[in-house]
Each structure stands twice: as C-alpha cells, then as structure tokens.
Amino acid sequence: MRALIQRVESAQVEVNGSVVGSCGAGYLVLLGVAPADDDALAERLWRKVSSLRICADEEGRTNRSLRDTGGDVLVVSQFTLYADARRGNRPSFTGAAAPELAERLYDRFCDLAEAELGAGRVGRGVFGADMRVSLVNDGPFTVMLDTSELGWDASTSA
C-alpha cells in the first residue's frame, strides 16, 4: 500500500459538483493499493498514519500526531500512486490492485480511521469516481509512505 499524506488546514473532494467528503485541520491521505496487500497491512498502515508525528507542537516543532492534535482526515483512493513511467511516456498501472481488492482495503482503512477518530472526523472520496480534490496545504508538508519500502508486506504485516 502507498499513502501520500498532506498536512492540511482543510480539504474536500467533489463528485459531479457535489462535496462528498471533507476535513478540517489534519491530513489528506491519498491511498493506493497493490495486488498483494491485505487487511493486516491496511491496519498497520493506518496505525502508522495516525501516529506519524508531522503536526506542530506548542513550539512549532513537528512533534505531534493526528492522535495528539485531534485532527481530521480525508481519505481518497488513488490507484495512480502505482503509476510506472519508466518506459515510454504513458504510465502503466499494472502495479495497482484490481478494483475489488482496492475498494475493500480502501474501505477497511477508512473504517479503521472512523473507529479511532469518530465518523465525524473522517471524510471519504467515492471509490472509482472522477473526483475533484481541493485543499489548503499546511506547510506545505507532504510525506509518502510505501509499505514495501518500510519492509512490510502481507507476510510481515501481523
């Protein structure tokens, strides 16, 4: 799985001109799923995202997590995080999971966020929809988490 995390003052996602998800201060998480990913990996990634210390403390240092700040999160599915543009000019997306698996793990990740933060603090995009995402970046501060680069995979995610 891959999560591109942007610290935001606010963010929202629209489908067909209607806002379907939003958040206040916290994180916009663009989430991609790979074919070998599973529920345990989604849980481990959520724990990492929610405890990642990229929010400012009272002294302005990035020393607080989403858990510490009581911040919100907006999660948007993003299969293009698995784009492979090494050959030619048109990216390949064969590294992304099939839609059925990707949607299930996206929903699992969002459910975990809601279980920890409360449903009122978690916004969602619409899986597979053509979405318009807007945000007010805070910092800007952007972090990419790739579970394969963290040494995690389905066999080590427990």
> Structural domain boundaries of the chain?
2-146
* Of the candidates 22, 136, 143, the residue with the CA atom closest to the CA atom of residue 75: 22
Enter the tokens of residue 32: 């991609």
Is 157 within 8 Å of 38 (Cβ atoms)? Answer: yes
- Could you give the residue numbers annotated as active site? 78-80
Residue 150: predicted pLDDT: 83
Residue 38: predicted pLDDT: 96
Q: Which residue has the tokens 């995979």?
A: 153
Q: Name the CATH architecture for the domain at 2-146.
A: 3-Layer(bba) Sandwich (3.50)
Per-residue pLDDT of the chain (158 residues; tens, 9 = 90+): 999 999 999 999 999 999 999 999 999 999 999 999 999 999 999 999 999 999 999 998 999 999 999 999 999 999 999 999 999 999 999 999 999 999 999 999 999 999 999 989 999 999 999 999 999 999 999 999 999 888 886 655 55
* Predicted structure pTM score: 0.93
Residue 156: predicted pLDDT: 57
* Of the candidates 35, 67, 38, the residue with the CA atom closest to the CA atom of residue 53: 67
